[in-house]
Structure 1
Amino acid sequence: MLLLMENLLTLVLILLGLALFYLSNILWLRPGKIRKRLRRQGVKGPKPTLLDGNTREMKRIRHELKPMKKQDSNNYISTLFPHLLIWRKTYGSVFLYSTGGREILHVSQPDMVKDIGHWTPSELGKPNYLKKSRKALLGGGIFTVNGDEWVYQRKTMAPEFFMDKIKGMIQLIEDSTAPLFGAWESILDSAGGSKEIVVDEYVRNISADVISRACFGSSFAKGEEIFCRLRKLQTAVSQHDSFVGLSAPWKHLPTKSNREIRNLVEEVRLLILELAKANTNEKGAEHSGTCNGLLRAIINGAHGPGHGGTAEDFIVSNCKTMYFAGHESTAVTAIWCLMLLATHPEWQDRARVEALEVCHGRRALDADGLQRLKTVSSQHPSMIL
Structure 2
Amino acid sequence: MAKSLVTLALVCVCAVIIGVLWRVLYLVWLKPKMLEMQLRRQGIPGNKYRLLTGDRNDEKAAFKEAWSKPMELTHRIVPRVIPYHDHMVKSYGKIWFKWTGTTPRVNIWDPDMMREILLNRSGHFIKPEDNPLMKLLTMGLSTLEGQAWAQRRKLINPAFHLDKLKEMVPAFRISCIGLAERWEKLLSAEGSCELDIWPEFQKLTGDMISRSAFGSSFEEGKRIFELQKEQTVLAIEAARSLYLPGFRFLPTAKNKRRMFIDKEIKRILRDIICKKLDSMEIRGSANDDLLSLLLQSHNPIAASKDQNKNSGITIEDIIEECKLFYFAGQETTSILLTWTLILLSIYPNWQQKAREEVLDTCGKNTPDFESISHLKIVNMILHEVLRLYPPAINLVRHVNGKTKLGDVTLPEGADILIPILLVHHDPEIWGEDAEEFSPQRFSEGVSKASKGQNAFFPFGWGPRICVGQTFAMIEAKLALAIILQRFSFELSPSYAHAPFTVITLQPQYGAHLILHHL
Same fold (TM over 0.5): yes
Looking at structure 2, the residues matched to 238 and 163 of structure 1 have their Cα atoms a distance apart, in angstroms, of 34
- Unmatched tracts of structure 1, length 5 or more: 4-8
| Alignment correspondent of 2:359 | 356
Deviates more, 1:68-77 or 1:344-353: 68-77
Q: Which SS does the other structure have where 2:328 is aligned? A: helix
Would you say 1:302 and 2:301 are equivalent positions? no
| Alignment correspondent of 1:137 | 137
User: Residues 367 and 252 from structure 1, CA distance in 2 versus in 1: closer, same or farther, beyond 3 angstroms?
Assistant: same
Would you say 1:164 and 2:163 are equivalent positions? yes
Quote how far apart the aligned CAs of 1:297 are.
1.5
- Unmatched tracts of structure 2, length 5 or more: 4-9, 387-472, 474-518
Quote how far apart the aligned CAs of 1:284 are.
1.6
C-alpha distance after superposition, 1:272-320 (max 9, x if no partner): 111111111112257x773xx2101212233265745971221111111
Conserved? CA contact 1:121–1:146, under 8 Å: no
Conserved? CA contact 1:122–1:151, under 8 Å: no
What aligned pairs does 1:85-164 form with structure 2 within 5 A after superposition? 85-119=86-120, 124-129=125-130, 132-139=132-139, 141-164=140-163
Q: Which SS does the other structure have where 1:223 is aligned? A: helix
Conserved? CA contact 1:216–1:295, under 8 Å: yes
Looking at structure 2, the residues matched to 150 and 128 of structure 1 have their Cα atoms a distance apart, in angstroms, of 15
Looking at structure 2, the residues matched to 218 and 34 of structure 1 have their Cα atoms a distance apart, in angstroms, of 50
C-alpha distance after superposition, 1:309-353 (max 9, x if no partner): 971221111111111121112211211211111111111000001
Conserved? CA contact 2:134–2:236, under 8 Å: no
In the alignment, residue 211 of structure 2 is paired with which amino acid? R
Q: Which SS does the other structure have where 1:189 is aligned? A: coil
| Alignment correspondent of 1:231 | 229
Looking at structure 1, the residues matched to 65 and 84 of structure 2 have their Cα atoms a distance apart, in angstroms, of 11
Which residue, 332, 339, 342 being the options, matches 1:339? 342
Conserved? CA contact 1:51–1:100, under 8 Å: yes
Structure having the higher helix fraction is 1
User: Residues 356 and 261 from structure 1, CA distance in 2 versus in 1: closer, same or farther, beyond 3 angstroms?
Assistant: same
Looking at structure 1, the residues matched to 199 and 381 of structure 2 have their Cα atoms a distance apart, in angstroms, of 28
Deviates more, 1:59-68 or 1:218-227: 59-68
Looking at structure 1, the residues matched to 353 and 384 of structure 2 have their Cα atoms a distance apart, in angstroms, of 13
Q: Which SS does the other structure have where 2:107 is aligned? A: strand
Structure having the higher strand fraction is 2
Conserved? CA contact 1:374–1:380, under 8 Å: no
Conserved? CA contact 1:133–1:248, under 8 Å: no
Quote how far apart the aligned CAs of 1:57 are.
3.4
User: Residues 27 and 150 from structure 1, CA distance in 2 versus in 1: closer, same or farther, beyond 3 angstroms?
Assistant: same
Quote how far apart the aligned CAs of 1:357 are.
0.6
Question: Which structure ranks higher in relative contact order (CA pairs < 8 Å, sequence separation ≥ 6)?
Answer: 2
Which residue, 197, 200, 204 being the options, matches 2:198? 200
- Give the number of equivalent residue pairs: 373
What aligned pairs does 1:364-383 form with structure 2 within 5 A after superposition? 364-377=366-379, 382=384
What aligned pairs does 1:146-295 form with structure 2 within 5 A after superposition? 146-189=145-188, 192-244=190-242, 246-282=243-279, 283-284=282-283, 290=288, 293-295=289-291
| Alignment correspondent of 1:6 | none
Q: Which SS does the other structure have where 1:128 is aligned? A: coil
Quote how far apart the aligned CAs of 1:210 are.
0.5
Q: Which SS does the other structure have where 2:191 is aligned? A: coil
Conserved? CA contact 1:122–1:146, under 8 Å: no
Conserved? CA contact 1:172–1:210, under 8 Å: yes
Deviates more, 1:304-313 or 1:373-382: 304-313
C-alpha distance after superposition, 1:136-183 (max 9, x if no partner): 1223x1000100110011011101101111112221111111222222
Quote how far apart the aligned CAs of 1:125 are.
2.0
Q: Which SS does the other structure have where 1:44 is aligned? A: coil
Looking at structure 2, the residues matched to 65 and 269 of structure 1 have their Cα atoms a distance apart, in angstroms, of 36
Looking at structure 1, the residues matched to 144 and 277 of structure 2 have their Cα atoms a distance apart, in angstroms, of 26
Quote how far apart the aligned CAs of 1:212 are.
0.6
User: Residues 184 and 17 from structure 1, CA distance in 2 versus in 1: closer, same or farther, beyond 3 angstroms?
Assistant: farther
Conserved? CA contact 2:297–2:313, under 8 Å: no
Looking at structure 1, the residues matched to 65 and 236 of structure 2 have their Cα atoms a distance apart, in angstroms, of 25
C-alpha distance after superposition, 1:52-76 (max 9, x if no partner): 3223433565677789996354232
Q: Which SS does the other structure have where 2:187 is aligned? A: helix
User: Residues 109 and 328 from structure 1, CA distance in 2 versus in 1: closer, same or farther, beyond 3 angstroms?
Assistant: same
* Aligned-pair identity (%): 26
Q: Which SS does the other structure have where 2:98 is aligned? A: strand
Conserved? CA contact 1:45–1:95, under 8 Å: yes
In the alignment, residue 322 of structure 2 is paired with which amino acid? C
Conserved? CA contact 2:336–2:385, under 8 Å: no
User: Residues 133 and 124 from structure 1, CA distance in 2 versus in 1: closer, same or farther, beyond 3 angstroms?
Assistant: farther
Q: Which SS does the other structure have where 1:197 is aligned? A: strand
